[in-house]
Amino acid sequence: MYYSQEPYRASIPSQVFRKCYLAPSILLTYGLTAIKNPFLQAQNQYFKQSLQERNPMRIHLDDYTQYASQAAFLSLDALGVRAKHPIQQRLFTGLVSHAIMASVVNLMKKTVPIMRPDGSADNSFPSGHTATAFVGAELLWQEYYEKNIWYGVAGYAVATGTGFFRMHNNKHWFSDVAMGAGIGIMSTKIAYWLLPSFESKCLKLPKNYSLVPSYNGEYTQLSLYVKL
């Protein structure tokens, strides 16, 4: 499995650039506006009542689905579905996007105290599960949409389901989920925007290398072979 050593360049026309950031910007604006807006707060109550009346049973899939796209992001290439970037660059974007997301989510949970729908704590805003899921969805989209658009679509479907189950389980308001989705997507886009600035200095790769998955009956491992 070989990769070209041509550096990744973010030469995106300004119109396309703006469109890329439109969706997360709308989600972030909605989430922030809902903090004080009576109409959007009423929508939060409406979604809560609708879900709790129809679906009183708790389904805790969201504890697992938040990580599903991250697992695919790191494993599909090893399974033969070639990613857009080699492993070191993917690790960089994955780590940076999660670091940005976690910092923003934790800061907002501490500075914007909003009670959870079930009354269990005042750290409802924003949804960390949803933010994590949408980081994974955007990572999957960035790496595989040129190969097959359905990888990214599946990632976003799972992330949306994660947000739904956070509301279904009475842990988050709709605005929490919208804000988490916006943070997750935007954090990943920022990580890819930063990639060209770092790859020439920090992410130099050998000219040729391959990743080979193996299983010995007990353990699964991923081996890196470098051709010098």
Helix, strand, coil % (nearest 5) of the chain?
60, 10, 30
Measured between alpha carbons, how far is 59 from 61 in angstroms, rounded to an integer?
6
Burial of 41 (0-12, 13-18, 19+ CB in 10 A): middle
Neighbours of 112 (CB within 10 A): 16
pLDDT computed for residue 209 by the predictor: 53
Tokens of 74: 């790191």
- Domains delineated in the chain: 14-227 (1.20.144)
Amino acid at residue number 45: Q
pLDDT of residue 7 exceeding 50, the answer is no
Q: What is the pLDDT of residues 108-132, one digit of tens each?
A: 999 999 999 999 999 999 999 999 9
pTM: 0.81
Question: Does the pLDDT value for residue 2 go beyond 80?
Answer: no
Q: What is the pLDDT of residues 152-161, one digit of tens each?
A: 999 999 999 9
**Per-residue pLDDT at 133:** 98
